[in-house]
Amino acid sequence: MFPRLELLLPLIFCLHSHLVALAWDPDPVQDFCIPNAKVGSNNARAQCKNSTEVTPDDFVFSGVKAPGNFSETGLSAKSVNPATFPGLNTLGMSFVRADLQVGGINAPHFHPRATEIAFVVQGKVYSGFVDSTNRVFAKVIEQGEVMVFPRGLVHFQMNVGESTATVFASFNSQNPGVQKIPSTIFGSGINDELLEKAFGLTLEQIGKMRRRFFPGRKG
């Protein structure tokens, strides 16, 4: 005899709720936790500085005043997370400054652990995302406008203006993760035959893409 459905539903609901909860950053158990570089990782509570040793400087970061180095795609991205800005530790958020040269792109990518909200500081940026039905939501956003990219969905940006564009974006996770589609596909070592069948490319074309996104690979 199988268990009655009405008896299984509460268990299924509890398991689902638990799994969903695990997908998010844990709630903090104190006001803040500035990492204590002097203490090892064995004592979790001691990893935080004593609050009497914390100063306003621990909550200020000056590393996004100017753009960083630009990539071949015309993108400069400066990530701000607990590794670079310890004041964010345990607060469940992170940040990025992105600058795009004229015609520059932020290649299609996604963040497995966070929703992103992007604010255009200057310029005109073609921005959008693709939902799970392959529908594209995209438009040009300009200075002062904001666009949200739902968690786990592929999104992209391209500077369509006549000057460098600057975007500030924040995430609802201190470790949102990022997977760029081109480098994930062609730079991760996926079997060539599989890629040939999936994309209709020749082995020569796949090799060319490999060399671009996986420089250490031969052939």
Q: Which residues are annotated as a binding site for Mn(2+)?
A: 109, 111, 116, 155
Quick one: DSSP state of residue 68? -
Asked if residue 126 lies in contact with residue 139, where contact means CB atoms within 8 angstroms, the answer is yes
Asked if residue 162 lies in contact with residue 104, where contact means CB atoms within 8 angstroms, the answer is no
H or E stretch at 212: helix 203-213
Asked if residue 154 lies in contact with residue 184, where contact means CB atoms within 8 angstroms, the answer is no
Strands 179-180, 146-149: parallel, antiparallel or unpaired by DSSP? unpaired
* Residue ranges at the known binding site: 106, 109, 111, 116, 155
Of 79, 76, 155, 81, the C-alpha closest to 115 is 155
H or E stretch at 199: helix 192-199
* Residue ranges at the known binding site for oxalate: 106, 111, 116
Q: What own/partner pairs with CB < 8 Å and gap ≥ 24 does 6-13 have? A: none
Q: Which tokens go with 40?
A: 């090892």
DSSP characters over 107-158? EEEE-TT--EEEEEEESEEEEEEE-TT--EEEEEEETT-EEEE-TT--EEEE
